[in-house]
Amino acid sequence: MVTLISFVVLLGILIFVHELGHFLVARACGVGVEKFSLGFGRKIIGKKIGETEYVISWIPLGGYVKLLGEAGAEELPPEDAKRSFSVQPPWKRLLIVLAGPFSNFFLALVIFCIVFVYGLPNLAPIVGMTLPGSAAGEAGIVAGDTITSIDGKKISYWTEIDEILQASKGKDLSVGVRRGDEEKTVMVKPRLTGVKDIFGKEDSVYRLGISPVSHTLAVIGEMPEGSAAKEAGMLRGDTILSIDGRKITYWDEIRPVVFASEGKELEVIARRGAVEKTFTVKPKASREKNVLGEEVSVYLIGIQAAGNTHAVVGQIKPDSPAHKAGFLQGDKIISADGKKVFCWEDMEDIFKDASGDGLQFVVLRGGRQMTLTVTGGRKGPAGIGKETAAMGLYPEKGEVIERKNPAAAFVSSLDRTWEFSKLTVVVIAKMIKGAVSPRTLGGPIFIAQTAGRQAREGVVSFILFMAILSINLGVINLFPVPVLDGGHVLFYLIEIVTRRAIPQKVKEWSTQIGFVVLLMLMLFVIMIDIERLDIKFINDALKFFK
């Protein structure tokens, strides 16, 4: 039900905005509007206000505005003839047609502005890992450091680091670092590193060799039957320490190593309780979708994260027992009450068994171990969240909320709208060239499913999806295909250049051809949508059409 409602709301808003653009500009240009319809086919409900009939129709896959004299062949009373669409100069007709797609761009712009002002989660500029031998490693930057500035520019979010690195062109940078209560500046020279973009194309970017902190540790949760890890003897609760000699701390570090194995056996060292065990795991080939929705072959060992959080302090409540004991942001808790702490969740059992009011913590701060004693604030075995909060300790989640002022939000919204528009054009161009599979296309079923998922995640996720879909709708409508707005734009541009109207018969034939092509495309994407549902008897039936 959520999926259906989300789809109807999403499509209704996008169509309404698109057609409202045509409607308002037509009125502004002095052109009469006979009908404003959401959807096609037979009307469900309608009401005539003035000369315009407003209707909702049965087929919710589009909409239209019927302009006075749009067909060009109808005879109109003299008082209406001058308000006919067909007698307007080409530039006016061009504006009316362009108003629809540009209304969709405008909707996306407004949504992005609202979201940027409201605030979005962004990665905090806290170093989670430093690669051995990297530029940052040689400069002395270690895990837990907070990047506070680069070349005098204040750093609040992780994304700002990459922007400055690419603009540096490899020159030496002064990097401000906070480690506990110590502030220092180091000189770092970014190195050119080869990467692949979302299309698999090789590119080179400047990197320091650091990655953001991830609060999810490499602790195994679920393992399906037949998975490579389970067959190797690994169990739920095992903590992965290394794979093929590469140290593993966070869950995000596992996937790239397994992917790169290309199926060869991996030596995995894991901790089970207080014992370290070695396993030989052979990744299995699997199929999954990439960011473009294409099915690609990948190697997996079949594990899911348990969700354990690293024992790194994120916030300390002022005047709390932890604050008085000397805890600082970025401290990594190594032990509590003499017992080893591997993750934040370990402290639950430790607090339950602890005797007395004073608790001794051993923390790692900038490579140095320190002992801190917390007195007071304990409430008994009430659970890890309440226990640590009572002491004034909160885990580091590696996220901060990024909020922009209205002017900065508008600039960022323009940039985001342009980037998504450009990406849509690039994907379609690569699809035409054959570099991207047409099976990445999504039809009404796919859109409905995605809308439902985004709605369940929250209002912000849903309206961001609406903004991206609105941009896609605007771009696609500008393609020079008869029956789309872009086809009409092409006709009017030719008319402006040649100073001659295109014959009505040519317009009618091309529109009919365009409609057939659009209908075939719609059937194609619906078939892809149905195939994605992975229903056996439907898949068997669709084989006859391949």
What is the tens place of the pLDDT at every residue in 500-518?
A: 888 878 887 888 888 888 8
Q: Which range, of 8-12, 236-240, 256-260, 331-335, averages the lowest pLDDT? A: 8-12
Residue pair 102/95 in contact by the 8 Å Cβ criterion:
no
Distance CA 482, CA 476 (A): 12
Do 181 and 237 lie in one domain? The reply is no
- The number of angstroms, rounded, from the C-alpha of 533 to the middle of its chain's C-alpha atoms is 23
Do 10 and 112 lie in one domain? The reply is yes
Q: Which range, of 54-63, 136-145, 179-188, 192-201, averages the lowest pLDDT? A: 192-201
Whether the pLDDT of residue 383 is over 60: the answer is no
- pLDDT for residue 243: 92
Do 9 and 108 lie in one domain? The reply is yes
Final residue belonging to a domain, choices 237, 271, 300: 300
Whether the pLDDT of residue 201 is over 60: the answer is yes
Q: Which two tokens stand for residue 312?
A: 């790194």
The CA radius of gyration of the chain, in Å to the nearest whole number, is: 30
Higher-scoring residue by pLDDT: 298, 230: 230
State the DSSP code for 145: -
Final residue belonging to a domain, choices 278, 300, 322: 300
Residue pair 145/126 in contact by the 8 Å Cβ criterion:
yes
CB-based contacts of 162, cutoff 8 Å, min separation 6? 205
Do 127 and 203 lie in one domain? The reply is yes
199 domain-assigned: yes
- 366-381 in b/e burial notation, b at 16+ Cβ within 10 A? beeebebebeebbeee
What is the tens place of the pLDDT at every residue in 435-484?
A: 666 666 666 666 777 777 777 777 888 888 899 989 988 998 898 888 88
Do 107 and 95 lie in one domain? The reply is yes
pTM above 0.75, yes or no: no
- pLDDT for residue 291: 47
Which regions of 197-337 does DSSP assign to beta strands (E)? 202-207, 210-212, 239-243, 246-247, 266-272, 275-281, 284-289, 295-300, 313-316, 332-336
Do 113 and 170 lie in one domain? The reply is no
Whether the pLDDT of residue 245 is over 90: the answer is no
For the chain, the average pLDDT equals 82
Q: Which range, of 55-64, 232-241, 347-356, 388-397, averages the lowest pLDDT? A: 347-356
Catalytic annotation present for 288: no
Do 162 and 236 lie in one domain? The reply is no
- pLDDT for residue 353: 66
Q: Shortest CA distance to 249 belongs to which of 212, 275, 277, 197? A: 212
Strands 358-365 and 368-375: antiparallel
381 domain-assigned: yes
Distance CA 186, CA 178 (A): 11
Q: Which range, of 145-149, 203-207, 321-325, averages the lowest pLDDT? A: 203-207
Q: 259 in helix, strand or coil?
A: helix
Please say whether the dihedral angle defined by the alpha carbons of residues 303, 307, 311 and 314, taken in this order, is positive or negative.
positive
Do 8 and 112 lie in one domain? The reply is yes
291 domain-assigned: yes
364 domain-assigned: yes
Higher-scoring residue by pLDDT: 355, 347: 347
- Surface-to-core class of residue 136, CB atoms within 10 Å of its CB (0-12 exposed, 13-18 middle, 19+ buried): buried
- pLDDT for residue 381: 38
State the DSSP code for 543: G
- pLDDT for residue 61: 62
Q: What average pLDDT does the segment 419-427 reach?
A: 86
Instruction: Report CA-CA distances (Å) from 6 to 33, 104, 239, 448.
Output: 30, 18, 40, 7
> In residues, how long is the chain?
546
Q: What average pLDDT does the segment 334-341 reach?
A: 86
Q: What average pLDDT does the segment 256-272 reach?
A: 88
Q: N- to C-terminal Cα distance for the chain?
A: 32
Do 481 and 494 lie in one domain? The reply is yes
Whether the pLDDT of residue 180 is over 80: the answer is no
- Fill in the amino acid letter for 169: K
Q: List the domain range (segments joined by +) for residue 248.
A: 228-300
User: CA 494, 496, 500: angle at the middle one, nearest 5?
Assistant: 75
CATH code of the domain covering residue 149: 2.30.42.10
**452-459 long-range contacts, Cβ below 8 Å, gap at least 24?**
452/2, 452/3, 452/4, 452/6, 452/7, 454/6, 455/2, 455/3, 455/5, 455/6, 456/2
Q: What average pLDDT does the segment 50-73 reach?
A: 79
Confidence grade of residue 377 (pLDDT, cut at 50, 70, 90): low
Q: Shortest CA distance to 37 belongs to which of 10, 55, 15? A: 55
Do 373 and 356 lie in one domain? The reply is yes
Q: Shortest CA distance to 198 belongs to which of 415, 433, 436, 413? A: 436
Do 99 and 188 lie in one domain? The reply is no
Q: Shortest CA distance to 21 belongs to which of 111, 108, 96, 112? A: 96
Do 261 and 233 lie in one domain? The reply is yes
- pLDDT for residue 225: 86
- pLDDT for residue 63: 75
524 domain-assigned: yes
Distance CA 326, CA 307 (A): 28
- pLDDT for residue 399: 74
Confidence grade of residue 382 (pLDDT, cut at 50, 70, 90): very low
Distance CA 426, CA 182 (A): 47
Q: Which range, of 265-269, 460-464, 540-544, averages the lowest pLDDT? A: 540-544
Q: Shortest CA distance to 109 belongs to which of 404, 458, 410, 465? A: 410
Confidence grade of residue 380 (pLDDT, cut at 50, 70, 90): very low
Whether the pLDDT of residue 43 is over 90: the answer is no
Distance CA 81, CA 70 (A): 11
The residue assigned the tokens 């540009």 is: 102
CB-based contacts of 278, cutoff 8 Å, min separation 6? 267, 268, 269
Residue pair 355/424 in contact by the 8 Å Cβ criterion:
no
Provide the number of structural domains found in the chain. Answer: 4
139 domain-assigned: yes
Whether the pLDDT of residue 351 is over 90: the answer is no
- Surface-to-core class of residue 510, CB atoms within 10 Å of its CB (0-12 exposed, 13-18 middle, 19+ buried): middle
- pLDDT for residue 240: 93
- pLDDT for residue 288: 67
Distance CA 97, CA 105 (A): 14
Distance CA 424, CA 426 (A): 6
Distance CA 389, CA 314 (A): 12
Final residue belonging to a domain, choices 300, 335, 361: 300
Distance CA 288, CA 297 (A): 7
- pLDDT for residue 85: 85
Whether the pLDDT of residue 102 is over 60: the answer is yes
Higher-scoring residue by pLDDT: 38, 20: 20
> 346-353 and 384-391 helices cross at what angle (nearest 10)?
80
H/E element, 19: helix 2-28
204 domain-assigned: yes
Whether the pLDDT of residue 289 is over 70: the answer is no
CB-based contacts of 133, cutoff 8 Å, min separation 6? 209
Percent of the chain with pLDDT over 90: 20
Runs of H (alpha helix) within 252-357: 254-260, 321-325, 346-353
Q: Shortest CA distance to 351 belongs to which of 367, 338, 332? A: 338
233 domain-assigned: yes
Confidence grade of residue 12 (pLDDT, cut at 50, 70, 90): confident
